[in-house]
Amino acid sequence: MMANHRFRSARFKVVPYDTIIAMHQLDRLDWLFDSNNIPDIAQCVHQAINKARNEASMFKIKAIDTITWPVEVSIPQDGGKIVKAEFIATFRYLTDTEVEALLVRSRGNNRAMLKEVVTGWDGVTDADDMPLPFTPDNLDGLLGHAYVSNAMVVAWGNMQRGAAAKN
């Protein structure tokens, strides 16, 4: 049941939030307000909704240098089992032309390619569970494990394509 209330000599209706959302989706917020009494509020609400709609639907191109992205690694174990682990890598974002040039330069070598596109990480630890800082030598050591380099290539490819990361 909706109740009418007075506020600064303007009348408004109290309605459940779900009703407002449902009516917003149907472009029917005008019924919430008695436009004879509070046209300024109704106009402000409509302007805010229209602005939010326009901003949400805009496609903006902006320069991207690097992107952090999750890397899911399947670590092989005895008995044919695997343990899943995840860390966050920072990758250089490349244009299509840059990707093509990188593939030519690296000649399909994952290690060579990743040395050019990986610029950092978070969540990588050494055998003593101490954070392993990102350095060219540490990256080279990590890429010495095929299961890590393969996981990083997949993650970088997904980032480049804009594929959603798995949660």
Cα separation, 120 vs 141, whole angstroms: 14
Cα separation, 127 vs 98, whole angstroms: 36
Main-chain phi, psi angles of 107, to 5 degrees: 55, 40
Apex 84 CA angle, 88 and 136, nearest 5 = 40
pTM of the model: 0.62
Which pLDDT value is given to residue 39?
52
Q: What spatial distance separates the first Cα and last Cα of the chain, rounded to whole Å? A: 41
Cα separation, 30 vs 42, whole angstroms: 7
Cα separation, 122 vs 138, whole angstroms: 13
* pLDDT tens-digit series, residues 12-50: 445 554 454 444 444 555 545 545 544 566 666 667 666
* pLDDT tens-digit series, residues 79-137: 999 999 999 999 999 988 999 999 899 998 999 999 999 999 999 999 899 999 999 99
Which pLDDT value is given to residue 54?
64
Length of the chain: 167
